Amino acid sequence: MASFGYLLYWACTFYIFVLLGRVVFDLLMIVARDWQPRGLWVVFANIVYMLTDPPLRLIGRYIKPLQMGSIALDLGFIVLFIAVQILQRIALMMIY
């Protein structure tokens, strides 16, 4: 059971870094609207979006964006990040 816990813990850690990469790419798209990834950055961006889009779309079906006037706050990323953190803590409990 401990080896499965280690595997799950490291998978969650890796996915948290992927989610943080998604934040960086999304912020780059917001701040520098004319920025297009080139070269190796295209590969990284495709991997990051390929790994994060399916769960975010699934969560987006059930949790709608929070409307604040003319702005809509998408809570899917926050829910996914917290869920991965909880799963990581469960994996730690499996290890010890």
Are the CB atoms for 16 and 8 separated by under 8 Å?
no
Counts for the chain of helices (H) and strands (E), in that order = 3, 2
Listed residue (47, 51, 80) closest to 63, CA to CA: 80
Neighbour count for residue 18 (Cβ, 10 Å): 16
Give the pLDDT of residue 33.
86
- What residue spans define the domains of the chain? 2-95
> Does the structure show a pLDDT above 90 at 2?
no
Give the pLDDT of residue 88.
97
Please report which helix (H) or strand (E) contains residue 20, including its range.
Answer: helix 2-31
Provide mean pLDDT across the span 49-68.
Answer: 95
Q: What is the pLDDT of residues 14-42, one digit of tens each?
A: 999 999 999 999 999 989 888 888 999 99
> At which residue do the structure tokens 């006037």 appear?
69
Taking the C-alpha atoms of residue 20 and residue 25, their distance in angstroms, rounded to an integer, is 9
pLDDT tier, 79 (very low <50, low <70, confident <90, very high otherwise): very high
